Structure 1
Amino acid sequence: MEKIALITDSTSDMPKDVADKYNIKILHYRIIYKDREFVDGINVDSKYIYDNLDREIPTSSLPSMNEMENLFNNLQDEGYTHAIVVTLSGGLTGIFNGVKLVSENYPNIKTYIYDSKSISAGEAMLVEECAKLIKKGMTFDEIVNSLPSLRKRLHLYFVVGTLEYLKKGGRIGKVAGTIAELLNIKPIVAIDVNDGKYFTYDKVRGRKKSLNRIVEIANNILKTKKCRMSILHGCALEDSKKVFDEIKKNPNVVSATFGGNISPVAGVHSGPGLVGLVLFEEE
């Protein structure tokens, strides 16, 4: 009899009620300042990160090998035979290889690691879909084989207040930086499903137009698809609520979640002003 564990990381912004409901395990990134270190979402919150960005922009690090080892030890003790790990996009992080390295020390647990090519609620929605399939009684192999088709139903877009933090953190990918800043060009950023890096999906001039464009993109998708919707933000509560309220009006939104602030570690790299949209197509 298969006993399947579900694992993700703290950049997924996995809602606590969903994690508790399905017993989803979460690995935590680390946030490193010159004189102190925090565990993402455990002993630091997003407000602390944004409040201190003008003093110091911290670096980030993968979940510790010790945390990963402890997790797999616990899975072994609890009798898990299989594990599905859904990670932050591999174009933004090396967590895929870190988990793979640790999992190889536990041959009794058959582990599959899936690069979500996503982040935040996009990553979380894929994990939740896996959890539902486990609850339905689907096998490990059936769930693993369904992941690419689940990923095709996912849409993620975001805007940031400034490109400064993506540039400094090396997460700029294929998003043009300096000239865009000078001209007040606001790129609509998405993640390339091939290499998992950020790219400019569209660009407009000015903050207001960028938020309106996010709404337009959502409504264009919702013309033909019924979707679950999630909005998250990075120190941009008012703007994100406006976007949320606009998109929520669409009759093809089957459920709408206002997710609040993105994870502290994601906030390090995106800076204040992020408004993010995730849509997941219902079948």
Structure 2
Amino acid sequence: MTFKILADSASDLPLSYYEKHEVTLLPLKVNLDGKEYEDLKTIEPTTVYNAIRSGQVPKTSQVSPALFKDVFTALAQNNEKAVYIAFSSQLSGTYQTAVMISEQVKEEYPNFDFTIIDSKCASLGAGLVVQEAVKLRDQGKDVSEIIPRLKFLCEHMEHLFTVEDLEYLAKGGRVSKASAFLGGLLNIKPLLHVEDGKLVPLEKIRGKKKLLRRMIELIEERGEKLDQQVFAISHADDEATALEVKEMIVEKFHPQDVFISSIGASVGSHTGAGTIAIFFLNKVSE
């Protein structure tokens, strides 16, 4: 293996993916009922969604600095090259902490070949970049060869998503309180996207069917060479809608593949149940 790949749990890939493809998992933390859990490892997303439905408010925290220190030091001691694809710096302090710890480790091991990429992505937006890194690594590419490609994907990754209630994102500071003034009024659904790593409300649409059709329209407007792409859909305890959206995407764009995964406990603590997110590229290559 030419280099190691690291990813945090906010990339919303299944635990089995990390194990099968030898990707080092860096879990964010979820605090619920006075207990701290490791996302993906010691708490299931449905536990978070059920807690939210019952009125509880889970809290999240970034990847532990101690875990960063242990993982980075072990890589440096073994003289292993590595790349870490990190959760958007605009949504978590995880990236900044990783940079700080890596600089400390590099003081002790100045030859440590380690790159941290601020994905400016969330959920499977980052997950698709991790999958590309795995593919290129398995083709025998060196880490220095793939960094430009990974950064390109991060720059051109589109996020389109809807949540049942913007209040969860507002409570966590992910969108402004003013933007969250919607509630369930008249069945109006918020449509959001990501700009420079930040969550930004895009449109307000009445009715689920209209919302899903609008998402498909936006994919067509924003995407490039959609039949050559791998799409990703993440969902918060709503696999039925995720499958419906997949069917719409396949019928309209005939992509290479459509990958579906659950939104994990850390991201799901902020989105709440019922979230549907679609990820694709607005530009496929230079």
Q: What TM-score bracket applies, with the shorter chain setting the length?
A: 0.7 to 0.9
Question: Does the CA-based 8 Å contact 1:228-1:282 persist in structure 2?
Answer: no
User: Superposed, which structure 2 residues align to 1:128-167 within 5 Å?
Assistant: 128-167=131-170
Question: Does the CA-based 8 Å contact 1:174-1:199 persist in structure 2?
Answer: no
Deviation larger for 211-220 or 237-246: 211-220
- TM-score by length of structure 1 reads 0.88
Residues 174 and 214 of structure 1, relative CA distance in 2, 3 Å threshold: farther
User: Superposed, which structure 2 residues align to 1:106-255 within 5 Å?
Assistant: 106-107=105-106, 108=109, 109-173=112-176, 176-179=179-182, 182=185, 184-193=187-196, 196-221=197-222, 224-226=225-227, 227-255=229-257
Residues 251 and 165 of structure 1, relative CA distance in 2, 3 Å threshold: closer
- Aligned residue for 1:118, secondary structure, equals coil
Q: Name the count of aligned residue pairs.
A: 278
Question: Does the CA-based 8 Å contact 1:173-1:197 persist in structure 2?
Answer: no
Q: CA deviation at 1:69?
A: 1.8
Q: CA deviation at 1:179?
A: 4.6
- Aligned residue for 2:202, secondary structure, equals strand
Measured in 2, the distance between the counterparts of 1:173 and 1:122 equals 22
- Aligned residue for 1:56, secondary structure, equals coil
- TM-score by length of structure 2 reads 0.87
Deviation larger for 211-220 or 226-235: 211-220
- Aligned residue for 1:272, secondary structure, equals coil
Query: Residue 68 of structure 1 aligns with which residue?
Result: 68
Give the unaligned 5+ runs of structure 2.
none
Question: Does the CA-based 8 Å contact 2:163-2:272 persist in structure 1?
Answer: yes
Question: Does the CA-based 8 Å contact 2:165-2:183 persist in structure 1?
Answer: no
Q: CA deviation at 1:34?
A: 4.5
Measured in 1, the distance between the counterparts of 2:175 and 2:135 equals 34
Q: CA deviation at 1:239?
A: 1.8
- Aligned residue for 2:252, secondary structure, equals coil
Residues 158 and 176 of structure 1, relative CA distance in 2, 3 Å threshold: same
Q: 1:161-204: per-residue Cα shift (whole Å, max 9, x none)?
A: 111211111111598121575454322111112xx111123331
Measured in 2, the distance between the counterparts of 1:95 and 1:52 equals 25
Residues 88 and 223 of structure 1, relative CA distance in 2, 3 Å threshold: closer
Deviation larger for 182-191 or 58-67: 182-191
Measured in 1, the distance between the counterparts of 2:226 and 2:38 equals 38
Question: Does the CA-based 8 Å contact 1:11-1:266 persist in structure 2?
Answer: yes
Identity %: 26
Measured in 2, the distance between the counterparts of 1:233 and 1:143 equals 29
Root mean square deviation, CA, Å: 2.4
User: Superposed, which structure 2 residues align to 1:34-53 within 5 Å?
Assistant: 34-53=33-52
Measured in 1, the distance between the counterparts of 2:187 and 2:161 equals 16
User: Superposed, which structure 2 residues align to 1:4-43 within 5 Å?
Assistant: 4-43=3-42
